[in-house]
Amino acid sequence: MSGASGGTSAGTGGRVRGGASGSRERVLARVRAALADVPADEPVARSWERDYADSHAEGDTLDVLVDRLLDYKALVERVSSAELPDRIAAALERRGATRVAVPEGAPGEWFASVTARRLADSPGSPLSVAELDACDGVVTGCAVAVAETGTIVLDAGPDQGRRAITLVPDYHLCVVRADQVVDGVPQAVRLLDPARPLTWISGPSATSDIELNRVEGVHGPRTLEVLIVESAD
């Protein structure tokens, strides 16, 4: 059994409550008693090497990402960085979006051609839930994207904003730079900081709860549109 440090000291963070009857100690004692068969000197440190693949190469990274996103019924376009402002504006117009939420830290050049009204959001001056609900959509960047699983990860960075802004509006336009795309899940996990709140998004919201068939569009944004930006113009 592993050595336990025992006891917790008061710190700057939250609290620990043991329950009315010392349940913390009771549960830990039960765990230790249950593990009586584990040798006392068995190391807690991992004693084996990981032997699985970082990715399961299936072709060109961006091609795979596009294929997976389309499979989830997301809308996808590959654009050059020079085209990006016009493509963002065009996407919002196609959508008929006239009020869009935008994280305060999103690059200004993204919106050079946009005519829709932009509502900036930041943790310091957040839009209310009602204001978000009244938005036609939201435009953000991302932290990482995973080609193999068609996943975009948001980490609440400056160009992504609070989690609520990509949740309440019904349309999410996400800008993914080609250099943010990795092939496999392990590569993405290594790039991400668990201290930040993360949202992994794989297509629009969906459910498989009715006869186990996937239906797109429930509580999250029902339309996900992805612009993949390749810098070599």
Partner 1 sequence: MSATFLGLPPFPEAARTAVGDSRTRQNLHKATRTIRGKRDAVVGELGDDWQRLRSEGERVKTHTLRHLDHYLEQLEESVRRAGGTVHWAADAAEANAIVTRLVRETGETEVVKVKSMATQEIELNNALEAAGITAYETDLAELIVQLGDDLPSHILVPAIHLGRSQIREIFLDQMSEWGVPAPEGLTDDPKALAEAARVHLRELFLRAKVAVSGANFAVADSGTLVVLESEGNGRMCLTLPETLISVVGIEKIVPTWSDLEVFLQLLPRSSTGERMNPYTSTWTGVAPGDGPQEFHLVLLDNGRTDVLADTVGRQALRCIRCSACLNICPVYERTGGHAYGSVYPGPIGAILTPQLQGMASEADKALPYASSLCGACYDVCPVAIDIPEVLVHLREQVAEGPGHVGEKAMMAGAGAVFGSAGALDAVQRAAGAVGGAIPRNLPGTAGKWTDTRDVPDVPKESFRQWWNKREQEEGR
Task: Extract the runs of DSSP E, i.e. beta strands, from 93-160.
Answer: 99-103, 117-121, 137-140, 144-146, 151-154
Task: Give the binding range for partner 1 (CB under 8 A) out of 85-93, 100-108, 109-117, 185-193.
Answer: 185-193
Least Å distance between CB 169 and partner 1?
A: 12
Instruction: Among 61, 66, 68, 111, indicate the residue that binds partner 1 (CB under 8 A).
Output: 68
Least Å distance between CB 84 and partner 1?
A: 26
Residues 119 to 178 in contact with partner 1, rule: CB under 8 A:
122-124, 126, 129-130, 133, 146, 148-151, 156, 162-164, 167-168
- Is 108 one of the binding residues for partner 1 (CB under 8 A)? no
Instruction: Among 61, 65, 66, 72, indicate the residue that binds partner 1 (CB under 8 A).
Output: 72
Q: What is the DSSP letter of 163?
A: G
Strands 144-146 and 151-154: antiparallel
> Which residues are within 8 A (CB) of 81 and not within 5 positions of it... i.e. 6 or more apart?
229, 230, 231, 233
- Is 59 one of the binding residues for partner 1 (CB under 8 A)? no
DSSP H stretches of helix in 35-176: 61-71, 84-95, 129-133
Helix (H, G, I), strand (E, B) or coil at 149: coil
Number of residues that bind partner 1 (CB under 8 A): 93
